[in-house]
Structure 1
Amino acid sequence: MTDAIRIVIADDNYLVREGTRRLLEDSGEVTVLAAVGSGPELLDAVRRAGPQAVLTDIRMPPAGQQGGAPAMEGIDAAHAIKASDPQVGVVILSQYADESYAFELFRNGTAGLAYLLKDRVGDLHHLLSALREVTAGGSVIDPLVVEALVARRARLRESPLAKLTARELDVLREMAQGRGNTGIAARLALSESSVEKHVNAIFSKLELGGEQSIHRRVAAVLTFLRDAGLRPPV
């Protein structure tokens, strides 16, 4: 029989936290070193207990705060843990199938990280498998999130923004901030004539050639705001 995996659990819901602890400890394959309810407590427990892995909810409010916390708190804690000790595996449990959260978790690499939907808490085999995988330096991503990532890639290919160059996207991003050509030129260290050429190229590629200039700028910005989130983080 293999040695039990030593973990720390973090969830601000006491019942979920203790239920998960009991479920995992009853399996005989996990030793729960600590079960905490906030981000700072999680980081402190990892420093003190030296676990092999962490199982944390994506929502982890600061100590003493009830609700309303940013959904990224658990991911921020994961990054801090990996920066301090890359050998500690981290499994994020999330209610969000939104692929952008998975991108944020894996932005510095995938080794020793897992992103699972919270429904998996009831699937002991799946949960234990993810803990073993991250402890060994592997990675796991929930199948439903994989589907969302594939759909995102398909939408990106269909978006008009896919036609733009990196520099044209820079110009359009500044345009979305409300800057005119002069402001864009100063911001991107370009000549105004270069900015004008990029703007005209944007209008052409987004097929906005027949409208008045101000309306074309509005339409271009609306396209950017609608589709910019489809582009993977750089």
Structure 2
Amino acid sequence: MRVVIADDSTLLRQGIVLLLEEQGIEVAAAVGDGETLLRAVAEHRPDVCVIDVRMPPTFVDEGLRAALVIRHRWPDVGVLVLSQYVEEKYAIDLIGDDTRGVGYLLKDRVSNVEEFLDALNRIFLGDTVLDPEVVKQVLVRSRRRDPLASLSPREKDVLSAMAEGLSNSGIAAQLVIGPAAVEKHISNIFMKFGLHPEDGENRRVLAVLRYLGA
């Protein structure tokens, strides 16, 4: 795996570089702003980019805007965005219509080496990774705006666990229910959201996106 890192904090940037290199992951470039990031991606064509949301010059959303450009110009490059806070709009904009190889984590998650490396590898393999706290807060806000009465409380629990990237067996363990019950709840969610078998495996992610954007 080849990675490009973009973060204005030299300390965090170099910390990630050392962490990845210790794991045998090649760091093609480590930069501190969005424009340099785009040049680095064009030059090195990495497998994954790790990007801070807020970078120079305005420290508002330069990293996110660069991430969106990368998703558009180089769709095969995975993107893992790091943020200090839960920023609902950023998470939804980043994922957009293409759910492959994209992630949104809080920076605190980087301190957990195993979780961070797992997220990076999952994005490299084309998965979608959302921080559990991001999912939790976005779901709470979504419920306030639209309770989605068609979903039962248990179905919402299952959907939240799906958004965290858990498999059916992982959902069963977390919610202490049987695998058959998980499959039934997921089928009900798909049916209520109008997601059909021809949508394929993406139904899981499409269901989460529909819930977050409700």
1:26-68 superposed Cα distances (whole Å, 9 cap, x missing partner): 122x11111001101000001111110000111122xxx4xx4
- Picking from 75, 84, 94, the partner of 2:83 is 94
1:40 counterpart = 2:20: no
1:69 counterpart = 2:21: no
Q: Distance in 2 between matches of 1:131 and 1:121?
A: 11
Amino acid at match of 1:232: G
Q: How far off is 1:110 after superposition?
A: 1.9
Structure 2: gaps spanning 5 or more residues: 148-211
- Picking from 125, 147, 153, the partner of 1:136 is 125
Whether contact under 8 Å (1:93, 1:116) holds in the other structure is yes
Q: Superposition pairs for residues 212-227 of structure 1, below 5 Å?
A: none
Q: Tell me, what secondary structure is at the counterpart of 2:121?
A: helix
In the alignment, which residue of structure 1 is the partner of 2:72?
A: 83
Whether contact under 8 Å (2:99, 2:127) holds in the other structure is yes
TM superposition outliers: structure 1 runs of 4+ over 4 Å: none
1:232 counterpart = 2:181: no
Q: Superposition pairs for residues 194-209 of structure 1, below 5 Å?
A: none
Q: Distance in 1 between matches of 2:85 and 2:95?
A: 15
Q: How far off is 1:12 after superposition?
A: 0.7
1:9 counterpart = 2:5: yes
In the alignment, which residue of structure 2 is the partner of 1:167?
A: none
Structure 1: gaps spanning 5 or more residues: 159-230
Q: Distance in 2 between matches of 1:96 and 1:110?
A: 22
Q: Distance in 2 between matches of 1:140 and 1:73?
A: 21
Q: Distance in 2 between matches of 1:36 and 1:157?
A: 40
**Percent identical residues:** 43
1:24 counterpart = 2:20: yes
- Picking from 99, 124, 127, the partner of 1:110 is 99
1:187-227 superposed Cα distances (whole Å, 9 cap, x missing partner): xxxxxxxxxxxxxxxxxxxxxxxxxxxxxxxxxxxxxxxxx
Q: How far off is 1:91 after superposition?
A: 0.2
Q: Tell me, what secondary structure is at the counterpart of 2:39?
A: helix
Considering only CA atoms, is the larger Rg found in Structure 1 or Structure 2? 1
Whether contact under 8 Å (1:98, 1:148) holds in the other structure is no
Amino acid at match of 1:35: A
Whether contact under 8 Å (1:24, 1:124) holds in the other structure is no
Q: How far off is 1:115 after superposition?
A: 0.1
- Picking from 109, 121, 126, the partner of 2:110 is 121
In the alignment, which residue of structure 2 is the partner of 1:186?
A: none
* TM-score normalised by structure 2 residue count: 0.66
Q: Tell me, what secondary structure is at the counterpart of 1:81?
A: helix
Whether contact under 8 Å (1:111, 1:139) holds in the other structure is yes
Q: How many aligned positions are there?
A: 151
* TM-score normalised by structure 1 residue count: 0.61
In the alignment, which residue of structure 2 is the partner of 1:56?
A: 51
Amino acid at match of 2:115: H
Q: Distance in 2 between matches of 1:90 and 1:32?
A: 14
Q: How far off is 1:99 after superposition?
A: 2.0
